Structure formats: structure tokens, C-alpha cells
Structure 1
Amino acid sequence: MSLYITRQPLINRQGKIIATRLRLHSQDDDSAAVIDALNGLVDCWPQSDRSIFVNFDSIPGDMGLLDWVAPANVTFELPGAPFCAEQAADFVAALKEARLSLCYDFDASAAQALNSGTGFRFIGFDLAKFSPAQLKVLAAKTQAFGIPVVFNVDSQQGFKDCIEAGMSAAAGWFVKQPSESPAKQLNASQAHIVRVLNLVRKNADVGEIEAALKQDVALSYKLLRYINSVGFGLSCEVQSFKHAVTILGYEKLNKWLSLLLVTASKDPMAPTLMHTALTRGRMMEQLGQGLVDRQEYDNLFITGAFSMLDLLLGVSMENALEAMHLPEPITDALLGNGGLYAPFLELALACEGGDGAALAAQAELLGLRPEQVNRAQLAAINFADTMEY
């Protein structure tokens, strides 16, 4: 079964992720095979309270969808077709009995779907099909049926227009567009984090690093908070930087200090950018297992985590990396110069696109099965969900 999953963040008017939207890509028209594949992913499913929209537009909408033992945080995103089929009454009855969270993808079958008696929590609109002006009218007409959200928004202006049109949230990668022109250099706080990172990379004396950290109390607090987070999974609480060095060693500490730089942004969309960066990093780290040497795993994580530094820090990628003494494979991948880590970064990026064939091709390039890619992505989303920004 060649099921691949891509994703979009669903972002509210405050710039916070309120859900993750998963799109299913399959060359198989058999919904039963798709459901089997989804049931095989339940053990790595994101566990947070944040909703996971699952889009079934490309999968035949029939009773087989209800064979998925869906996790509690799933919202089924359904097109109108099953509400117009011969078995529509049975389908609606089964949906009511299952008490699922539902989103109706507004289409030409709206009359049948909305008047079927189905309790939709959300009404989803595709920005590729409706203009902001049309969305404003539709939001008013459908407000009694569910919360209006919009999908496939790819520009900052499009996001603003949709929110002004009455949409509660928008899904898409408009966050990848810079909100303003890049600065020429890092600000003082960012530069300080880079100095601490460089001290760790060259294995400086613990006292020297601790002294540098103490120059910024908030930095020390943030570092310990990350290390003690659920995502890190330590069995004991780390009390100080010296304690962290003892337990983790310099190599692992370098990875977690890198998070401080990723989370140093003041951009309004920073929470979404951080979540994306951490998802990429964790996914690359997991996909590399068995394909690169064990000592490369942390570097794969850092490559993914740093892949949005230009947006997070408001400078060009070249300027962001200029003061950092990163290993060459990381720098090469981030600057688009190929190298060992580049195929893993390309695969992580493909999971954010809408092209299932391109994702499949990139996975095949690394010799990875669909299930491996899907499991790594879901586990990475779960990891990013556990981190505090």
C-alpha cells in the first residue's frame, strides 16, 4: 500500500497553530487499504489535545472510512459525495452513531451535505476555489452549520484576506513567506546564543560556558525547560548547566542549545515556524537511523531545526550561518549545496507540499518505505507538540 501523508498547519488569527491538517495521497482507489494503513499508524499518532484534520477528498467516501479506529483528536474532513450516494442515509446514520468530529469540505453538494442532519463541527473552504469576497458570503450563509476554516492559503495577504472575510483559521504554508525584508545581521540576543553555541561546539570549559549563559538568565531558564520537557524524555530533572553536561555530554547539549536559537524569534508567526522547524528536525533525525552513522543523527536534527533560521531570525540564511561554526554537511544542506543531509531535508520539505508523487520519489531516492516516512512524520509532529515555545 503506497499511502503518503503531507501536512499543513491550521493557524488562527493570532498566528498560533490550532490543528494540523493531514492530506492522504494514494495510488490505490481501495479505501479499505487506506484505512488499514491508517490503523497501522495509531501507535505513533500525535497525542496532544491539538486537533488533527484528516482530508479524505482523494479517497472514496464510503462506509469503509468508519472502519478506522481513529484517535480521539481526529477531525474527519469529508467531501459532499458520500452525502449524495445511494447509501447516504446509512452513511449519515453511521456518522451520528460514531459521534466523530467532522469537517465538511464545501463543494457543489453543499445542499445535500448541510441538510443531511449531520452535525459538522467545521465547514472547510478551499481558497483555490473561492475568492475572499465569495468566502465572506459563504461564511455568513453557513455559520449555523459549523466553524468556517479555509485551506490551501499560500500567501500572507491571502491569510489576512481570509481572516477579514470571517474565517476562524487558515491552513497553508503562507508562513514561509517573510513578513518583512531581512536584516543585515543578528540582533544582540541572537548573537549571544550563537556565542554560547560556538563555545559548546569547541568543547570549552564548563565554567566558561556557564558564565556565558548566566549573562542571560532567561536563556539559562529556557535551556533547562527544554531539557526537562516531555519531548526529551529524561528520567531525572536537570537542575543546572553543569548537571546537563554531566548527563548529556557536549554533543547532545549542542543539539538542545540549538533550540534556543530556533525559538529566539519575535515574528508574529514564530510559534508556527518553530513547530515546523522542530518537526523537520525530528523527522530527519528519525529517518536517518540506519542510513547514516549514529553520530550523524544530532546533525540531521540540527539541519532540520535550522532550515527556517532565515525566517525565524529575520536575516538571510548566509548571514544566519556566518558566525556559526557548523559542520560542512549542515551548511551545505541549508545553503542548497547538496551533501549528505540534503536528501533528508528535501524529503522533510516534500511532506509539506501537496504533491504525493514528488514525496514518493524523494522517499524512494533514500530507499524508504511509505510507512517509514509516515511514522517518522507523525512522531515528529508529536515531538514538536510537546515542546513549549
Structure 2
Amino acid sequence: MSSSVLITREPVVNQQRAITANRIIVHAANIQQAIQALENLRPHWPTVHPVFVSLGRLVPTPELLEWPLPENTLVEFPAPALQYPQIQDLIRRFNEAGTPLALSWFQPGAAWPDGVDCRFTLADVNKVASPDSTPGLPLAWGLPDVPAFARAVQQGYTGAAGWFFLRGVTPAKELAPAHAQIVHLLNLVRNDADITEIETALKRDVSLPYKLLRYINSPGFGLMVEVQSFRHAVTILGREKLNKWLGLLLVSASRDPSAPAVMQAAIARARMMEILGAQFFDKVHLDNLFLTGAFSLLDVLLGTRLDTVLEQLSLPPDVRDALLGAGGAYAPLLKLAISSESFLPDQLRAQSEALGLTMSQVSAALLQGVAFADALSFG
């Protein structure tokens, strides 16, 4: 049954650590289950970046040819399966159908079929030091942190798949002035300061009003009218809803060129939590769930210890407790969102079952979160 299928995900980044694709790993008992689950997810399919489809421990079979892939989808074939003539034939059939292909679990000497285009090759850097013989653009996998990525690039890798960019960053003890300014702005709104005072703080950085209105008017928000100013935003949204979008200003405040990948991860978590939270909470809590996910990577984004940031932010107790690992009402959904970022599904399945969520609900929310984050176009 497709309802028992889970997906997890990884980003694919280039040498500058900018997102270039999303990789989803389908965890199913057989290909038929995987195909049905993928078809059910079609309405939520991310469209901004290409999507790599990995079948986890399964190998593609001819049944997969019958599924009409979304046009931005690449299908992965595992290198160990290349030894079988029927897999070689299937790869040629996918190629004839115009399906972009990728090779995973690369091994030196893997016999990719002659004359067939391979867009990308994923290789475990712990097993493949040099990617010179890959049939497609080599992407590193299994990286522990940012320094390891730098070494992989020196070895010839053109990018990587995975979450290495969340590790290996040394936090500072204080907020940068630009970040502190946005924290001040958030506190003004949450503490019901006068609109004129908030507008004055907002205008101290000319880029902030522009970015705020861009986020509010993004297609993912679905407003029927275009918001023209901060005062207009307050009228249309109300102050509570505005906190969510001001939170995006803080999440997107980093000047690091690699920050968009972290921003995407944070906002995908936020949107996933917001969607699933509707099963458990009244609407008044959903924006706080969004903020919890969005702020869960502030230490990486701002290069500052998380507790240092939170000391200066006026946040509801449940948000603060979840972010600091102290439990609270929002913590289970944050753990669920984080567990969707593992290659293996065990933790995600356990968290989903503990919350009484179906696998279909979780997978749909995950893809919607990724699509929402991609559509914001951080930069």
C-alpha cells in the first residue's frame, strides 16, 4: 500500500553550496508501492529545481517506465545493479523515453551503457577519493561537514548531496549588527509597538522593506491583493500573522553565499510543521509552529549560538522550549521535520507513528515544504 511509503530528502548543491536540485528518497517495499506514492505526491511536486528520485534499497524496474514523470525529474540507478543486462537495457529504454538519469553509489569501473547520457553521479567520498572516471558530473555524498566539502571540491567533485553544510560552522558569541536590527524589529511587532516606530526601524536598512514585501507577496502565501506597504501589511495580515514574515527577514539575513541552502532547509521545516500542525493545533498556533521551524537553524545561518539569539528575541515559551531542546507542545513536530532530513526513514517513521500521522500526510507536507521554500527564491 502506498500509505506505508515514506520519503526523506536531501538537497543537492554546487561548488558554491547553492541549491541546484532536491533529492527525494522513496522508502517502499516494492516498485508498485513507490510508483503509487509518487503519483499521489504529484500535486505537491517542487518545480523550481530538478528533483532526483532515489528508490532507496530498490532498483528501478520496467514498471517505472509506466509512470509519467514530472518533467523536472531525474531517475537514479544504483551502480551495483549495472552488472545485470536487464538493468543496462532498462537504462537505454529510459534514455530513449527522454528521462534524465543519474547514477548513485558509484564504484570505479561501473559499466554505464555506452551512448547513454548520465547527468550526475553520486559517489561516497569515503570510498571514492577521485571522481575522474564517473560517467556524469560527480557529486559527493557522505560528507560530515563543510571542511570535508572543501576537500571534495579540491578532489574534483562538482557539488554534493546531503546536509554537510549544517555542520562545521564555528558560532560567534554576539549577533552581527544587521541581525540585531531585525531582532529589534521582531520584538517591536510582538510587543505591539506603534506602527510609526516599527516603520522607522524597518527603514534603517533599505533592503528590509523590499524583502518583506517580496516574501508577503510570494505565490506561496496566496494573497488575493498585492501588499504595497508595511501599514498595508498590518491591515491585511494583522500583527500576529506578520511575525511569521518578519521571521523570514531574520532567517534570510546572512550574507554568506552558501546561506540559501540553509535558508531553504529552515523554511522547508517551517512550512512542513505548519501544515502538519493543523492536525493538532488551532490556527492561532500555526504561525508559531512556522517560526519554530524557521528559527531552528538560526545558529548556522547567523553564525551565532542559538541561545545567544533567543536571549534577545521575545518568543512564546513553546517556541523557545522547542528550539532549546526543552520539550513543549511544538517539539514533537520539530523532531519530525528534522528526521525527514535523514537518508534512512526509521526515525521519521517512529515520530510519525507517535503523533498518529499517516505516511501520506507526512510525505505530502514534506514536499509542500520544499516547494514553498524553493519558491521564495532567497538571495
Instruction: Give the TM interval when normalised to the shorter protein.
Output: over 0.9
SS at match of 1:20: strand
* 2:100 corresponds to 1:140: no
Give the structure 2 partner of residue 158 of structure 1.
148
- For residues 81 and 94 of structure 1, what CA distance do their matches in structure 2 show? 19
Report Cα offsets for 1:279-325 as digits up to 9, x if no partner: 00000000101211211000000000000111111111111000111
User: Greater shift after overlay, 239-248 or 74-83?
Assistant: 74-83
The 5 Å alignment of 1:191-270 reads 191-270=180-259
Distance change in 2, residues 1:164/1:333 (3 Å): same
- For residues 12 and 173 of structure 1, what CA distance do their matches in structure 2 show? 13
Give the structure 2 partner of residue 56 of structure 1.
55
SS at match of 1:7: strand
Give the structure 1 partner of residue 96 of structure 2.
97
Contact kept, 8 Å, 2:147 with 2:168, in 1: the verdict is: no
- For residues 344 and 18 of structure 2, what CA distance do their matches in structure 1 show? 25
- For residues 155 and 377 of structure 1, what CA distance do their matches in structure 2 show? 24
- For residues 107 and 151 of structure 2, what CA distance do their matches in structure 1 show? 23
User: Greater shift after overlay, 370-379 or 89-98?
Assistant: 89-98
SS at match of 1:264: coil
- For residues 4 and 378 of structure 1, what CA distance do their matches in structure 2 show? 11
Contact kept, 8 Å, 1:82 with 1:91, in 2: the verdict is: no
Amino acid paired to 1:169: G
Give the structure 1 partner of residue 320 of structure 2.
331
Contact kept, 8 Å, 1:284 with 1:300, in 2: the verdict is: yes
How far apart are residue 153 of structure 1 and its match?
Answer: 1.8
The 5 Å alignment of 1:1-389 reads 1=1, 2-26=4-28, 28=29, 30-48=30-48, 50-85=49-84, 87-88=86-87, 90-107=89-106, 110-112=109-111, 114-130=112-128, 134-135=129-130, 139-142=131-134, 145-180=135-170, 182-389=171-378
Q: CA RMSD in A?
A: 1.7
Contact kept, 8 Å, 2:254 with 2:302, in 1: the verdict is: yes
- For residues 90 and 311 of structure 1, what CA distance do their matches in structure 2 show? 45
Amino acid paired to 1:96: N
- For residues 259 and 82 of structure 2, what CA distance do their matches in structure 1 show? 39
Q: Which runs of 5+ in 1 are unaligned?
A: none
SS at match of 1:140: coil
Amino acid paired to 2:163: W
How far apart are residue 107 of structure 1 and its match?
Answer: 4.0
Distance change in 2, residues 1:164/1:157 (3 Å): same
Distance change in 2, residues 1:298/1:115 (3 Å): same
Contact kept, 8 Å, 2:185 with 2:198, in 1: the verdict is: yes
Contact kept, 8 Å, 1:304 with 1:345, in 2: the verdict is: yes
Contact kept, 8 Å, 2:59 with 2:78, in 1: the verdict is: no
User: Greater shift after overlay, 98-107 or 321-330?
Assistant: 98-107
Amino acid paired to 1:24: V
- For residues 78 and 161 of structure 1, what CA distance do their matches in structure 2 show? 26
Contact kept, 8 Å, 1:154 with 1:172, in 2: the verdict is: no
- For residues 88 and 204 of structure 1, what CA distance do their matches in structure 2 show? 65
SS at match of 2:57: coil
Distance change in 2, residues 1:329/1:57 (3 Å): closer
TM-score, normalising length: structure 2: 0.94
Amino acid paired to 2:93: A
Distance change in 2, residues 1:276/1:334 (3 Å): same
- For residues 294 and 371 of structure 1, what CA distance do their matches in structure 2 show? 22
TM-score, normalising length: structure 1: 0.92
SS at match of 2:231: helix
- For residues 104 and 89 of structure 1, what CA distance do their matches in structure 2 show? 12
Q: Percent of pairs identical after alignment?
A: 45
How far apart are residue 117 of structure 1 and its match?
Answer: 3.7
Contact kept, 8 Å, 1:228 with 1:237, in 2: the verdict is: yes
Distance change in 2, residues 1:90/1:75 (3 Å): same
Amino acid paired to 2:150: K
Q: Which runs of 5+ in 2 are unaligned?
A: none
Report Cα offsets for 1:314-369 as digits up to 9, x if no partner: 11111100011100000000000001000000000001112211110000111111
Distance change in 2, residues 1:271/1:339 (3 Å): same
SS at match of 2:238: helix
